[in-house]
Copies of this chain bind each other. A is one copy, B any other.
Amino acid sequence: MTQIKIPKLAPMLSVRNGAKAVDFCKSAFGARELFRIEAPDGAVVAQLAVGESEFWIADESPKHLNFSPESLSGATTRFVLVVEDPDAAFQKALKAGAKSVSPVQNHEYGWRQGRVVDPFGHHWEIGKPIS
């Protein structure tokens, strides 16, 4: 566990096959693993970070109201990933197994940004403000 600076907030993404999703986040986004609990059945709860931004990946558990995008056929939260080079980061995510939802382009709201969906159904907007 990293040092706790509070209050703080971190999303926990529900997925099917959490162990693979952790590997994906490392390959696609350069995420670091901070902590992991693994159950005998292989289900994981893992704490990751991109830069100083922490997030969690956990196997879904519908009886505990934790649903994967695959179970609900959609996602209720997307993730805004701000990077120095959106074009390179987008390509890296595709190479790791994500699929393009919309290519990297300049948007009228002042960001250069693209969107991918990962193999687990979560959506990531990769970009940065246009300076």
A residues engaging B (CB < 8 A)? 1, 4-14, 29-30, 37, 50-53, 55-56, 62, 65-69, 71-84, 89, 101, 109, 117, 121-123, 125, 128-129
- Measured CB to CB, the nearest residue on chain B to A66 is B78
Is there contact, CB below 8 Å, between A51 and B9? yes
Is there contact, CB below 8 Å, between B6 and A82? yes
Most chain B CB within 10 A, of A6, A37, A117, is at A6
- Copies of this chain: 2
- Measured CB to CB, the nearest residue on chain B to A15 is B76
Most chain B CB within 10 A, of A5, A12, A29, A77, is at A77
Whole-angstrom distance between the Cβ of A22 and the nearest chain B Cβ: 15
Is there contact, CB below 8 Å, between B74 and A7? no
Is there contact, CB below 8 Å, between A76 and B37? no
Is there contact, CB below 8 Å, between A81 and B51? no
Complex CA–CA separation, A5 to B67 (angstroms): 31
Complex CA–CA separation, A55 to B37 (angstroms): 26
Whole-angstrom distance between the Cβ of A94 and the nearest chain B Cβ: 17
Most chain B CB within 10 A, of A50, A67, A83, is at A67
